[in-house]
A and B are shown apart, each in its own frame.
Chain A
Amino acid sequence: MKSSVSRLSLWLLLTPFLLWIVLLVLLPHLQMLRVSFQVRESWDTIAWGIEQYQNFFTESYYWRTFVRTGVMSLFTTFLTLIIAFPIAWYIARLARGRSKGILFLACLIPFWASELVRTYGWMILLRESGLFSSWLQALGWVDGPVEMLYNDVAVIIGLVYNGLLFMVVPLVTTLDGMDENLVEAGYDLGGGHGTVLREIVVPWAMPGIVSGCIVVFMLTLGSYLTPVLMGGKDSAWFTEQIFTQFITRFNWEQGAALGVLLLVLSSVIVWLGLKISGQSLRKVMG
Chain B
Amino acid sequence: MGMDSDLFCEGLVRRFGTNAAVDHVSLDVPSGTFFSILGPSGCGKTTLLRLLAGFDKPDEGDIHIRGQRMNDVPPNRRPVNMVFQHLALFPTMTVGDNIGYGLKRRKMPLAERRKRIARVLEQVGLPDLEHRNPQELSGGQRQRVALARCLVLEPTLLLLDEPLGALDLKLREQMKVELKHLQKQFGTTFVYITHDQSEAMVMSDQVAVMRDGRFDQVAPPEELYREPATPFVAGFVGDNNRLSGELVSVRDNLADIRLDDGVLVQGRVASDDLQAGHRAELYIRPESLVLSGDALSAGFSSMQAKVRTTLFDGANSRVEAESCGQPVYARLPQDGSAPRLPADSSIRLAWNPALARVFGADSP
A interface residues with partner B (beta carbon < 8 Å): 179, 181-182, 184-192, 195, 199-200, 203-204, 206
Contact = CB atoms under 8 A, between A and B. Distances in A.
Contact of A191 (B80, B91, B105): B105
A193 to B, nearest CB: 9
A199 B101 contact: yes
B332 interface: no
A191 B84 contact: no
B90 A185 contact: yes
15 contacts: A179-B88, A181-B88, A182-B91, A185-B90, A188-B53, A188-B80, A189-B81, A189-B102, A189-B149, A189-B153, A190-B153, A192-B76, A199-B101, A203-B92, A206-B92
Contacts of A192: 76
B88 A182 contact: yes
A190 B90 contact: no
A52 B188 CA distance: 74
Given A179-B86, A195-B105, A187 B74 contact: yes
Interface string B44-83: 0000000001110000000000000000001111001110
A112 B85 CA distance: 44
A187 B74 CA distance: 9
Contacts of B81: 188-189
A189 to B, nearest CB: 4
Interface in B286-328: none
Nearest to A181: B88
A191 B55 contact: no
B251 interface: no
B76 A185 contact: no
Q: Is the interface of A mostly helix, strand, loop or mixed?
A: helix
Contacts of B284: none
Contact of A189 (B74, B92, B150): B150
A191 B97 CA distance: 14
A140 B106 CA distance: 52
A208 to B, nearest CB: 13
Contacts of A184: 53, 55, 75, 82, 84, 88
Given A195-B105, A199-B101, A187 B76 contact: yes
Given A181-B86, A200-B92, A204-B92, A188 B75 contact: yes
Interface in B84-108: 84-86, 88, 90-93, 101-102, 105-106
Contacts of B86: 179, 181
Interface string B102-135: 1001100000000000000000000000000000
Nearest to A190: B105
Nearest to A202: B92
A177 to B, nearest CB: 11
Most B CB contacts (10 A, CB to CB) among A189, A195, A199 go to A189
B90 A200 contact: yes
A18 B289 CA distance: 76
